[in-house]
Structure 1
């Protein structure tokens, strides 16, 4: 990993990236008065604009769906990318040179990532141009044999690496790229030769459509590199355990359709997209693993049962082993996993060649749950004609059924398993229950080392209804805290967390107190959001930051709101104390009764004082 981006550079990107420019590139904005702009929300369907941008605060917020944040958050949501990817995109757009740090300080040279991406882009354009030349005839013939015409090659940016050995290096040096940068980019070898020679090339792009590396297929028998496929080596921008080929083309479709189709190669991705399966991706030069799973899970959104991942495996032993390997960390997915296997054993590319586009779509449509596929392969290892074989098959497959996330499906799988092994349903049900109590172990298979994917933590804070009259004062004061902290009293107007009855308003208040102790750097609302652990509370800060006041607040305005908030607290305390007095016998518990009565008198006096101070609140 390149390390995390330094906080100073993130702050610089945030200050340079104008929210109206970033949003205006994809949303038609118009002035809405009060220094704000409005447009149709890009995150949900609407006919009346409820999407607001406030350039002075660098924030956007949709009053329809609740999405909001700064320029970085907008890029993350709109382009379906991570925080780091969004910062890198905006840095490239605003000219900020990012520095990456880890626990030992600066790690990557400033500007190296940008120069590598620039070199990769030039290389991609060079390779694509070479594909039409006479030296690339063998490459074009291969593409034709796989069912891809010139339009398909251009759509996917396929290129050709000349056999000369130094054509790309000479071009890049002439364009002003340092030799050290080209070596670090994996484009040129230490000895000065082009890394790829005489091969067909696929540019590998990240979610922001920047070329991070290349995959190259062997075409000539006399190729000095025996590997059928050769990929860019590890670089500051290319990590094979993280990148997915086709992600630039499929990321939005994956988010929109809540589906990702994982195939096994570059040509399979092409065949799938050309056939209408626009959610297809593939790992590059390595088996599908933990980081790939995490990337897809993020694109799908992370809500349980909200989407599906479809793996296409070959029907041979290698495909079965791959399915078992995926199943070992299947429980870490929050979405449903499926397997699509063509009975004839054809991969998507060959299937498209022999049977057409519709057959590829049908392959995905015929997907079956991963549990069922693994269960069938597990049972197939036993002799079901023997009583002991059926029992052994049941004991091997029962943990699979017991580990199914959706409990509503377990009953159906119990009956299906009973039919597969030829045993009584109740006997199968008991074995599944026993396996579940025993820890939900998987059958003993050896698919190789696989790491697990961490589950997404849940956010249990509720979203406060802005129209709730009972909470209007809490919301109004929190709005002042976020927008006008300069007007608050030195003791924060004598308020405490106990004055806020809604947990999310309380979290915002506590976050503001914590943020006040941070160095006075950066925009205030961002500092508050940075200390909050709840995504709901972070989003509420954004909403409060863009809500307008009926008139400009001053110190008196704040004092009135603080008095009203404390008045509500005192009123609740009076109600609680009266209830206790009613339940207390004044004869048997005279001392306690008298103490509470004196306390009630004090509270009533305090309430009258606050009622006077609270008169005049108009927002």
Structure 2
């Protein structure tokens, strides 16, 4: 066993190591008064920086959580190392050889702690993989894979990309020859044990080294290349080891951290090749997760480097996602964590759904830079993704979309921005500003009262690809908690509510149906085609009028035969209503000579119902025009056509009102 590290060497390590250089590998620092630097604490989550260092005396202190100490204690805490491992790591930075108190000779294994040994094994593995990619004939498939994606040999060297030999034991033999033990190789995830002994963890795959924030290799990502590969997964990653925790690692962060700190912008992409493409295109702040979703720990890592602090100008975090449903679902998941940032979050999705690597191949470096520069706010993406599930051309769709979008608007952190977003989203939906403002206020109240109430009152964002909520569907306003099977025709009919005659519009519909059933000869034959079933607001009236339309106005039949035909054509549930309509007295004066209603009365009823229909069309046209007017990319011809169409409908509406009067 090796003895303790010589105390003089420990003192020399502390004296010669600049604590601010070590801390900057994890935290972005800024001046905080004479002789002090400040940043977000790496040991607890905070929005206002309370972590302070004094380079002159080599100490740190967080006035939020109380952590403090010297540079060795900082490395121990932030990288979860032992005291010995921390001293060895700092000594390696300095190129300093450590002495042991016993003064005796020490072998390679004795001179290094376990973490250092694992890091050294990974460094040696990376070198072997990189050499194999460039020199081995069987690595041609890997080289072709990279070339097909726009990466040459220089790009491969820059990112340390390699190739795992197909034999299955070459890396293990190489590392054993360098003195590493079986336990070190298996604990580090480089080799695995089988019935015949150790074998390589990665075989016949393209390899990306995964570095920690300081640049040490701590794991690998491996892409399948050969059809005969017994492991079917396209990507394999190093399993969790003492030096590799995937929830806290971002691929490319060691290369990106300077740009992230300088520009206060981080770009989160989805894969290794996307990171390579982004960096080569000039987007130097690009990083990616390693086989896991972007989560809370990743946010904490980036926040410290971005200086994501309250009181500073907001930093910028851009997420790039594929344009498919999975990419949209990932974006919505990222949106749920948006409250954890003080920064402004953005989403970048290429118009044709390409990822950064594909975009660079198809359109060049400038296209990748433009993708990031043109990213839309996360809030806007979340709202547009949510309302895209609804048919905004209908009043029902707009109301449902408004209720789904309202909780998103209500959750905007900046109270000063919320009214502006209300106006913006109202334009996207094509609804009145006051209407959306009321819904947002209801959503905010519901949020304060608890998640369960909010779920029943105002459904929030759901993953793309889900059907729009509607009556009887899971998550709808009518039935928020359970799925409802598709109703039969008879069940649907039984559910038709009685018309509310207190509503003037419904009352006018009622009178029109009475007149049609009792005096069909007062109406032109084409009136039933001209009006349309959708003109009736009451479901029961729509069902009755549907029966009338099916039969058509036929004055050649007797009134009894015609009414019977209408009864047969209508749903069972409204047949009693037809019987009532066919005999109830009309609320109008009858002609003294004929004892019948006047033609003028019949025409006024038709005009009233037509006016309601036209009013709905006017509302739809106004909604369309609002949505087009709020879209900067809308075709000017379409805007002009929508405006002309609205004016035509309004003229027809005015003429109908005069006729009805």
User: What TM-score does the superposition give when structure 1 sets the normalisation length?
Assistant: 0.59
Aligned residue for 1:311, secondary structure, equals strand
Please tell me whether the aligned partners of residues 35 and 54 of structure 2 are also in contact (alpha carbons under 8 angstroms): no
Partners of 1:296 and 1:25 lie apart in 2 by: 18
1:415-473 Cα distance to aligned partner (Å, 9 max, x none)? 1111111111122122212222222768445669xxxxxxxxxxxxxxxxxxxxxxxxx
Report the alpha carbon displacement of residue 136 of structure 1 after superposing the two structures with TM. 1.1
Query: What does residue 144 of structure 2 align with?
Result: 141
Please tell me whether the aligned partners of residues 17 and 94 of structure 1 are also in contact (alpha carbons under 8 angstroms): no
Aligned residue for 1:416, secondary structure, equals helix
Query: What does residue 210 of structure 2 align with?
Result: 204
Partners of 1:60 and 1:190 lie apart in 2 by: 44
Candidates 411, 419, 430, aligned match of 1:411: 419
1:51-89 Cα distance to aligned partner (Å, 9 max, x none)? 99999954599xxxxxx984359989xxxx946489866
Query: What does residue 359 of structure 1 align with?
Result: 367
Aligned residue for 1:339, secondary structure, equals strand
Report the alpha carbon displacement of residue 90 of structure 1 after superposing the two structures with TM. 5.0
Please tell me whether the aligned partners of residues 328 and 463 of structure 2 are also in contact (alpha carbons under 8 angstroms): no
Candidates 176, 190, 205, aligned match of 2:179: 176
Candidates 276, 281, 285, aligned match of 1:279: 285
1:105-124 Cα distance to aligned partner (Å, 9 max, x none)? xxxxx932221111111101
Specify whether residues 376 and 89 from structure 1 end up closer, same or farther in structure 2 by C-alpha distance, changes over 3 A only: farther
Count of residues paired in the alignment: 401
Query: What does residue 236 of structure 2 align with?
Result: 230
Query: What does residue 436 of structure 2 align with?
Result: 428
Candidates 188, 193, 196, aligned match of 2:191: 188
Report the alpha carbon displacement of residue 308 of structure 1 after superposing the two structures with TM. 1.8
Query: What does residue 239 of structure 1 align with?
Result: 245
Summarize the alignment of residues 83-162 of structure 1 with structure 2, pairs less than 5 Å apart.
Answer: 84=80, 90-94=87-91, 111-133=113-135, 134-162=137-165
Query: What does residue 256 of structure 1 align with?
Result: 262
Q: Which has the larger radius of gyration?
A: 2
Specify whether residues 13 and 264 from structure 1 end up closer, same or farther in structure 2 by C-alpha distance, changes over 3 A only: farther
Query: What does residue 16 of structure 2 align with?
Result: 21
Please tell me whether the aligned partners of residues 18 and 55 of structure 1 are also in contact (alpha carbons under 8 angstroms): no
Candidates 383, 395, 415, aligned match of 1:375: 383
Report the alpha carbon displacement of residue 333 of structure 1 after superposing the two structures with TM. 2.0
Partners of 2:416 and 2:345 lie apart in 1 by: 16
Partners of 1:308 and 1:145 lie apart in 2 by: 32
1:327-356 Cα distance to aligned partner (Å, 9 max, x none)? 222212222211001001110001001111
Partners of 1:85 and 1:337 lie apart in 2 by: 34
Please tell me whether the aligned partners of residues 198 and 219 of structure 1 are also in contact (alpha carbons under 8 angstroms): yes
Query: What does residue 408 of structure 2 align with?
Result: 400
Specify whether residues 426 and 91 from structure 1 end up closer, same or farther in structure 2 by C-alpha distance, changes over 3 A only: farther
Partners of 1:207 and 1:86 lie apart in 2 by: 19
- Asked whether 1:218 is paired with 2:224, we answer yes
Query: What does residue 315 of structure 1 align with?
Result: 323
Partners of 2:235 and 2:56 lie apart in 1 by: 51
The answer to which structure, 1 or 2, has the higher relative contact order (CA under 8 A, 6+ apart) is: 1
Report the alpha carbon displacement of residue 252 of structure 1 after superposing the two structures with TM. 2.2
Summarize the alignment of residues 185-584 of structure 1 with structure 2, pairs less than 5 Å apart.
Answer: 185-191=188-194, 192-304=198-310, 306-439=314-447, 443-445=459-461
Report the alpha carbon displacement of residue 394 of structure 1 after superposing the two structures with TM. 0.8
Partners of 1:25 and 1:298 lie apart in 2 by: 14
Aligned residue for 2:219, secondary structure, equals strand
Aligned residue for 2:199, secondary structure, equals coil
Aligned residue for 1:217, secondary structure, equals strand
Partners of 2:159 and 2:433 lie apart in 1 by: 51
Partners of 2:279 and 2:54 lie apart in 1 by: 39
Please tell me whether the aligned partners of residues 312 and 339 of structure 1 are also in contact (alpha carbons under 8 angstroms): yes
Structural RMSD (CA)? 3.6
Partners of 1:320 and 1:353 lie apart in 2 by: 23
Partners of 2:283 and 2:215 lie apart in 1 by: 19
Report the alpha carbon displacement of residue 18 of structure 1 after superposing the two structures with TM. 3.8
Partners of 1:232 and 1:69 lie apart in 2 by: 33
Please tell me whether the aligned partners of residues 18 and 55 of structure 2 are also in contact (alpha carbons under 8 angstroms): no
Specify whether residues 155 and 409 from structure 1 end up closer, same or farther in structure 2 by C-alpha distance, changes over 3 A only: same
Report the alpha carbon displacement of residue 43 of structure 1 after superposing the two structures with TM. 5.9
Please tell me whether the aligned partners of residues 23 and 74 of structure 1 are also in contact (alpha carbons under 8 angstroms): no
Aligned residue for 2:435, secondary structure, equals helix
Report the alpha carbon displacement of residue 315 of structure 1 after superposing the two structures with TM. 1.1
Report the alpha carbon displacement of residue 218 of structure 1 after superposing the two structures with TM. 0.7
Please tell me whether the aligned partners of residues 13 and 91 of structure 1 are also in contact (alpha carbons under 8 angstroms): no
Please tell me whether the aligned partners of residues 261 and 279 of structure 1 are also in contact (alpha carbons under 8 angstroms): yes
User: What TM-score does the superposition give when structure 2 sets the normalisation length?
Assistant: 0.56
